[in-house]
A = this chain, B = another copy of it.
């Protein structure tokens, strides 16, 4: 019993290691550029062993996306727990976390293009459940922030939600970081400002 449990833990932690590697590689190169050989080499096991844990490359990516969504949901929970924060405060906090995570190279890029991956994700219950939960939570904040007059009421909540999601794969962060002249914190501040305050000067 103890031995079995121990073995299970070893296996579980190995799967965690796999998912972590996949998440990093997805953030680094995207789904197409990431090869299964590379994942296996990085984790330090044979490729065939990978396929004992995950049925396909798409399943591998889906597991990483589920993990990423789980982290986002944790952040939402953390923000819900902050007393006295407005909906706008919470929305900005989660957006900031998203930018920081992307800049740290730990945010797998969303695949708007690839159909094989898209279909796999749509068919993945855990992924879709988390995505919908996250969208519902953020959607509620957005509606509330609009009621508060903090978010532009002319924008449909949908558009605001997509805009926040899109920041998770905004190439501006990478462009500014590539220059090497600014700190991560400075970059995040600028993107936060352009996202919420806009490029145009405020009176």
Contacts and interface: CB of A to CB of B under 8 A. Distances in A.
Interface residues of A, number: 47
Contacts of A201: 149-153
A170 B175 contact: no
Contacts of A162: 171-172, 175-176
Contacts of A190: 155-156, 159
A193 to B, nearest CB: 7
A136 interface: no
A83 interface: no
A200 B32 contact: no
A171 B179 contact: no
B171 A159 contact: no
Interface of A: 29-30, 32-33, 88, 109-110, 112-114, 149-156, 158-160, 162-166, 169-172, 174-176, 179, 190-191, 193-203
- The 4 closest A-B CB pairs, nearest first, are A198-B198, A32-B32, A162-B175, A197-B198
19 contacts: A30-B113, A33-B114, A150-B200, A150-B201, A151-B201, A152-B198, A154-B193, A155-B190, A155-B193, A155-B194, A159-B172, A159-B191, A160-B194, A163-B172, A164-B199, A196-B199, A198-B198, A198-B199, A203-B203
Given A155-B193, A158-B179, A159-B176, 10 more contacts: A88-B200, A112-B175, A151-B199, A152-B200, A153-B201, A156-B190, A159-B172, A159-B190, A195-B199, A203-B203
